[in-house]
Amino acid sequence: MQLTDLNPSRDIGSNCLLVELGPFRFIFDCGMHPKKAGLGSLPMLSKLADDSVDFILITHAHLDHIGGLTVAARYQRDCPILVSAPTQLLLPRMLRNSVGVMLRQRDELGLSELPLFTYGEVERVEDRLRPMSFGRPYVFEKNGDRLEITFFPAGHVAGAAGVRVVHKNERVFFTGDTLFADLLTLVGARYPEEDFDTVVTETTRGARGRPPGHTRKTETDRFIAAIAQTLDGGGSVLVPVFALGRLQEVLSLVREARRARQLPESLIFATGLGLDLVDYFDTLSQQHPSIRFRRRVLQDLNVQPLRQTLKPGREPGQRGLYILSSGMMVENTPSYVLAAGLLAQPHNAILFAGYCDPETPGGKLLATKPGEKFTFNALQYVAPMKARVERFDLSAHAEREELLAFVQARHPRNVVLTHGDPDARAWFAEALAKMPKAPRVIDPVPGEVCKV
């Protein structure tokens, strides 16, 4: 097998691999870098000659895995795009949202190349999606040769897949983004328990283990208790969330806590793409028993759309629990603007339910100490940090020890590291080297062909 990592930087960015096995060539994911804009946010697609791949395979509908797909599909004109059935529904909605975001960025950032693709192109991509059932092998034939592809549920987010690829005697497993634990809204990964020659693994959480005594359950309890304390104290709570998966999971957690009388009654507000996706999750939950989020959660909690005009330095007119995108409090999103209204008052709280990149406003806020000033650059507003600001580890990625154990149990000769920052990859490389019968560890150099 030959692999070329087309993500220009070794990080969780524009994820994209070119995979070559015998006569077969395919693209594995095609993302857009969440911290970059314009052409610089795309994978190195110029490395691919036009119409040179047999298919494109997409593991799930997060933008760091699909954001570059429409551009890649423009030059790889007729090949099918393999997705799971839930991803077939979610992907076009996520890409259309991305066009809207890019149209806004064109003016905000003065980038004339935006949008990188159009609504019409997304429609054509939608026509090329080929749904793959979990657990059912799909065979490609070329020049008398066979390639077998099988999707397995990866947990992480609705529709996410780990992928088994078999060519002649060579067996490869790609984890994609993986969560083994069950969420309230989604069953965890169900991967094959067999040996592989090569495992290509994500390394997202490699840099940090969970502190002793901390579990998903204790973090969830702490999270709910922090919401309850703030509401009981007369403040408002902001929970910045990702629209796809996280908003629905947080709403489910809140409903469960309400039923267990761990949370007081309060107004609940949500907004944007995440609310739209509720309908998609409702449809998916009726078709796939592994996905569990119904629209009635909104009625049970009496969730209201955000209609207030938010202003920096001014608390919202109604106290309550605000579950708003974006998850990393990116500039000018509802969570960013509301944070500027809540931060200066000690009775409020801003509670992050997942990871924040240190360079995003959310990451910078988490690094700010109580009482220090925080600058909302995009609003030209500075506030002292008096509200409670805290992060809770409710990650949608497997813990590093779990992934390591999975890889180890597959007895691979080669392990390829992807989807992680350099320190995260380094932890995996070191841990793998200590294994009995240590595999060869490959941390691909972006853009360079590596033989596996």
Question: Smaller CB distance to Zn ion: residue 76 or 395?
Answer: 395
| Residue among 176, 190, 189 nearest 419 (CA) | 176
For residue 450, the minimal CB distance to Zn ion (Å) is: 21
Kindly report whether the peptide bond that precedes residue 290 is cis, defined as omega within 30 degrees of 0. Answer: no
Q: Which stretch binds Zn ion (CB under 5 A): 130-138, 177-185, 267-275, 350-358?
A: 177-185
How many residues bind Zn ion, per CB under 5 A? 3
Q: In the set 11, 121, 177, 421, which binds Zn ion (CB under 5 A)?
A: 177
Shortest Cβ 291–Zn ion spacing (Å)? 15
DSSP string, 269-326: EE-THHHHHHHHHHHHHHH-TTB---THHHHHTTEEE--SPP-TTS--SS-SEEEES-
| 182: number of Cβ within 10 Å | 14
Position of minimal CB gap to Zn ion: 62
> How many CA atoms lie less than 13 Å away from 83 in the CB half-sphere?
28
Q: Are 214 and 208 in contact (CB under 8 A)?
A: no
Indicate the residue among 32 and 298 with the shorter CB distance to Zn ion: 32
**Least distance in Å: CB of 17 to Zn ion?**
13
Residues in 54-83 that interact with Zn ion by CB under 5 A: 62, 64
Q: At residue 59, what are phi and psi to the nearest 5 degrees?
A: -80, -35
Give the Cα separation of 416 and 157 in Å (integer): 23
The nearer residue to Zn ion, 242 or 293, going by C-beta atoms, is: 242
Smallest gap from Cβ 398 to Zn ion, in A, equals 12
Question: One symbol per residue from 309 to 348: x for binding Zn ion (CB under 5 A), - otherwise; what is it?
Answer: ----------------------------------------
Residue 177 or 249 having the CB closest to Zn ion: 177
The secondary structure of 106-130 as a DSSP string is IIIII-TT--SS-HHHHHHHHHHEE
**Segment 114-133, which members bind Zn ion (CB under 5 A)?**
none
Task: Give the SS3 label for residue 148.
Answer: strand
Q: Where does 61-167 show beta strands of DSSP type E?
A: 81-84, 129-132, 138-142, 145-153, 161-167
Q: How far is the CB of 428 from Zn ion (least distance, A)?
A: 16
322 or 355: whose CB is closer to Zn ion? 355
Nearer to Zn ion, 11 or 197 (CB): 11
Binding site for Zn ion (CB under 5 A): 62, 64, 177
